[in-house]
A and B are shown apart, each in its own frame.
Chain A
Amino acid sequence: MYLNLESKAVSETPATTIVPVFKPMPGHTPRSAKDRCKRIHRYVSSLATAASAQLKQALFVLRNASTELPSPELQAAARKQYSQAEFLSATKELLCIWVHLEAVDQGGETMSGWLIEFLQFSLASTDFVIEQPSAQSIMEEHGDCTETKVLIEHVCQSISHRLGYGPMAKLLAPAFAPLLEKSRLLRQQALRDALTIDAAEL
């Protein structure tokens, strides 16, 4: 059995817009090591803030839909309170996977060297925002996923476990898929902002 909270959500307004991918140009290369640090700080900070806001929103939707869930156990799980540690751990995982998905969108190995380094450095820097679990451990955990569809399923289950759903985690996991599948616009805005903002404003 799988839950489909997303279909409930999108039934309000059909979403058909195609988002153009922001492709960084050579002109967007950070001009110095210090400039790069400031831009990474901005990128990771805005992405982390967005990840926590999006996750909070998803938990909000799940809690409000709890009465429609098919079993008392699921309903209780959807209504549960979250500790700060549970929430931050799930946010960190979402943040790290967003950086990975951005790297995929930017062409993986085919992207410019400076952009690869920027995203690698950004991933490592997520540990400065939320220390645990480490970015390394999160990425290792999903390292065997060779397709994005499989990766998203794994990540959703992992996020669900981190949120403390226990035996209900697998059933509630699909509720978190939109956080990954529909993340492109937010990710692109964060990257574009970090790479295009004037150095004086950093």
Chain B
Amino acid sequence: MRDQISEPKDKTKDANDKAGQPTDLNTLSVGRTVIPAAVAAARIMAQFPKVDIPINTPTTRWLLQGDVSEADRLAVAQEFRRSKPKLLV
């Protein structure tokens, strides 16, 4: 393992691990208990901490300024051809 920076235990991951697969569009099962999906979603979302986002930040054009070489572009394209993430649609 490369250098790790210790952080508090990830509660969100635990919550997600506990939340089983959806039984239908309106409910989620957590262990033996079936709970309304909206309640489950609220619990999950509530675990995202409130943060202060700084103001006067660089604009979204800023990250477009870098030059990515063709060789680098092809190399990373190959990685994505080999394995593309499966998105939840």
Shortest C-beta distance, B14 to chain A (Å), equals 13
Contact of A49 (CB < 8 Å), options: B46, B73, B86: B86
Point out the residues of chain A lying under 8 angstroms from B55, CB to CB: 147-149
A147/B57 contact (C-beta < 8 A), A13-B47, A64-B38 known: yes
A101 interfacial contact with B, CB 8 Å: yes
- C-alpha gap A58/B46 in the complex (Å): 12
B interface, over-half SS: loop
A49/B87 contact (C-beta < 8 A), A15-B48, A22-B7 known: yes
A116/B66 contact (C-beta < 8 A), A22-B7, A41-B83, A104-B58 known: yes
A3 interfacial contact with B, CB 8 Å: no
User: Quick one: closest B residue to A102, CB to CB?
Assistant: B63
Contact of A28 (CB < 8 Å), options: B3, B41, B44, B58: B3
Contact of A46 (CB < 8 Å), options: B25, B59, B60, B85: B85
Point out the residues of chain B lying under 8 angstroms from A28, CB to CB: 2-3
Shortest C-beta distance, A63 to chain B (Å), equals 8
Most A CB contacts (10 A, CB to CB) among B53, B54, B75 go to B53
Interface size class of A (residues with CB under 8 A): 35 or more
A195/B75 contact (C-beta < 8 A), A61-B38, A64-B26, A123-B64 known: no
User: Quick one: closest A residue to B39, CB to CB?
Assistant: A12
Q: Is the CB of A16 within 8 A of B50?
A: yes
A178/B45 contact (C-beta < 8 A), A128-B80, A143-B61 known: yes
Q: Is the CB of A178 within 8 A of B59?
A: no
Contact of B63 (CB < 8 Å), options: A18, A44, A45, A100: A100
Contact of B58 (CB < 8 Å), options: A108, A135, A198: A108
A41/B1 contact (C-beta < 8 A), A52-B87, A61-B45, A104-B58 known: no
Beyond A41-B76, A148-B57, 5 additional pairs, beta carbon < 8 A: A9-B41, A17-B8, A37-B78, A123-B63, A139-B63
**Can you name 9 A-B residue pairings with CB atoms under 8 Å?**
A10-B46, A33-B72, A45-B84, A56-B88, A84-B89, A129-B87, A181-B51, A192-B4, A196-B2
